[in-house]
A and B are shown apart, each in its own frame.
Chain A
Amino acid sequence: MPHGEAATAESFRSARVRRFLVAALVFAALALSPLAIRSVYLQNVLVLTLLYAAVSQSWNILGGYCGQISLGHGLYFGIGAYATSVLFVTWGILPWGGMIVGGVLAVAVALLIGYPCFRLQGHYFAIATLVIAQSGLVLMQNWDFVGAARGIQWPFGPDSWWTLQFARAKTPYIEVSLALLVASWLATVLIGESRWGYWWRAVKDDALAAESLGVEVFRSKMAAAGVSAFFTAVGGGVYAAFLAYIDPDAVMSFRFSLLFALPAVLGGIGTPWGPLVGAAVLVPLGEFSRSYLGGSGSGLDLVIYGALVMAVALARPQGLLSLVPRRRAAP
């Protein structure tokens, strides 16, 4: 059997080509799906699925690849949603610009938070991210300039790609959410193949061993936090444009922070497809049970959703993706 450098490089290249081909097919199918899915209700579910997948992919970069379990990603989502809304509603800056501003702002906040927090271990780190996000929530609830607890209503206007406002059509939001998912998928895969990606996984598996191999552990965590926060915030911006109304609880509550982690964990943490698989199961299930069972807040939908989360977590700890047999580059 041939091995050694040439064979290794060859098998890697073919696996890589296969991976990008599969991705191209999946994303193309999703891009064309509005042609087949005509129901506005189903299109709505699709928007949410893709958006959750994208944001969960962003969480996955820090939580799944670098192993830093953040319970405060709602903060970055909220920063994106608020930056986009405030800039648009107050100064008329188009949401496209607002999303980028929100993303950059979230990176700055993530680095500022990471600097002290990445010295904390395990649960102390997780609770610190939770506490900081919750502080952000309390501040937003009381900050009059951004509408405090009342939130921000986007003005009604004509349908337009510039302002990303569409009264009835859902297709544009499907395409925008998909674009964000593709961007975060590409970032994950491309960075994952680079030195940073290897450093992140080394930090997750064993930080002490990583340091002995020249890995800058602290810098790795900061880099992962920055990339992760950026895409999460852009997701917040898209969500704000989609809803055309935001308030603190609707974009940055603690539950959101957990819901962003959930698809990645249930689909397959630290894998490029885990978040999409997890979101494709969780979001439709949550939405369907809400429509059929949760009418007038009966709560039955939550019972089913909660039971499902427990069942998958317990029955499939490696994530749903592990049900698919993996083809490894056989030596």
Chain B
Amino acid sequence: MTATALLQVFASGLMTGLIYGLVASGLSLIFGLMEVVNFAHGEFLMLAMFATFGLVVFTGIDPGLLAPLVAAAMFVFGAAVYALVIRFAMRVETNRGMVQIFATFGLSILMQGAAQYLFSPDYRSIRTSWLGERTLHVGGVFLPWPLLFGGLVSIATFGGLYLVMTRTAFGKALEATREDQGAVALVGIDCNRMFALGWGLGAALVGLAGAVLAVFYYVFPGVGASFSLIAYVTVALGGFGSVFGALAAGIVVGLVEAFTAVVLPPELKSLGIYALYLVIVFLRPAGLFGKF
């Protein structure tokens, strides 16, 4: 394998990894805030992709420009899911873990069914994007523009997230809530409100990922399943609840997947990710970047 070919694999693995990090970031944020694994995370992504698709069809605006709008809509959706479902799952006193798993699992089935009912199970794709079929060609490495765009959006989002978490009162309150809910309630921060905003923010992050993916990936009701497992693995590797751990883990996952596809037949490329997860949790039971 030549150096250029290696570089090619590295570059596309890196870009894919950045997008994986973005997909996983919302899941990780929510977990860190309240120790809930959202089993409907893949369906959140699916919804964002359909929203992008729908907006493109109706407005004709380029999907790249629609990303902030999709994120805003997903913010509202995420906060609503918290208020209507998760809030009640948190109040449960027995079997709380299982109730959370199955409340969100039920939501995922419901969302898939609703998507099938409204949009039919067909595969759709956006053909009108300016990014569409273009490819960047640098020194023998080809990168499709949509992929590159996704990577850049991911970097920009994590940068913005870093600023929000460290510089704003909201970010600090979020950080304080995840560290100690009881103490936060004492200083007068409304935990319920923080959780709702956390779910909103988490869903908005998935919204950005969905808008980016809709440009070059098929949109269909079952699309979430292909990404949700990768998102769980990424979140676990990054250390449950660490948002920036998710970015680092996402890059690792993207690269491992790309290089596995070189060594093994492409159908087996996910095996590399699974093996990576198992090796790492057996060696470091709190994840790659997790705190012990």
Contacts and interface: CB of A to CB of B under 8 A. Distances in A.
Given A131-B277, A135-B271, A309-B106, A119 B285 contact: yes
B110 A302 contact: yes
B106 A308 contact: yes
A297 interface: yes
A308 B102 CA distance: 11
A301 B116 CA distance: 10
Interface string B255-292: 00000000001011011001101100110011100000
A132 B236 contact: no
Contacts of A266: 102
A134 B268 CA distance: 11
A124 B285 contact: yes
A120 B279 CA distance: 12
A123 interface: yes
B199 interface: no
Given A127-B236, A314-B89, A317-B93, A305 B282 contact: no
A138 B110 CA distance: 26
Q: How would you classify the secondary structure of chain B's contact residues: helix, strand, loop or mixed? A: helix
A304 B39 CA distance: 18
Nearest to A119: B285
A124 B278 contact: no
A120 B285 contact: yes
Interface string A264-300: 0110010000000000000000000000000001111
A109 interface: no
B97 A69 contact: yes
Contacts, number: 144
Contacts of A318: 94-95
Contacts of A308: 106
A221 to B, nearest CB: 15
A116 interface: yes
Contacts of B98: 69, 261, 265, 269, 313, 317
Contacts of B115: 299
B110 A303 contact: yes
A306 B275 CA distance: 32
Interface string B74-110: 0000000000010011001111111101110111111
Q: Which of B85, B94, B106, B221 has the most CB of A within 10 A?
A: B106
B12 interface: no
A212 interface: no
Contact of B116 (A265, A302, A311): A302
A130 interface: yes
Contacts of B285: 119-121, 124
A299 B102 contact: no
B22 interface: no
Contact of B229 (A123, A254, A317): A254
A261 B270 CA distance: 25
A306 B104 CA distance: 9
Given A120-B285, A134-B229, A303-B117, A310 B107 contact: yes
Interface of A: 69, 116, 119-124, 127-128, 130-132, 134-135, 138-139, 141-142, 254, 258, 261-262, 265-266, 269, 297-311, 313-314, 317-319
24 contacts: A69-B98, A119-B282, A120-B281, A123-B37, A127-B277, A131-B229, A134-B270, A142-B268, A258-B101, A299-B113, A299-B114, A299-B118, A303-B113, A306-B111, A307-B110, A309-B103, A309-B105, A310-B106, A310-B107, A314-B85, A314-B99, A317-B92, A317-B94, A317-B95
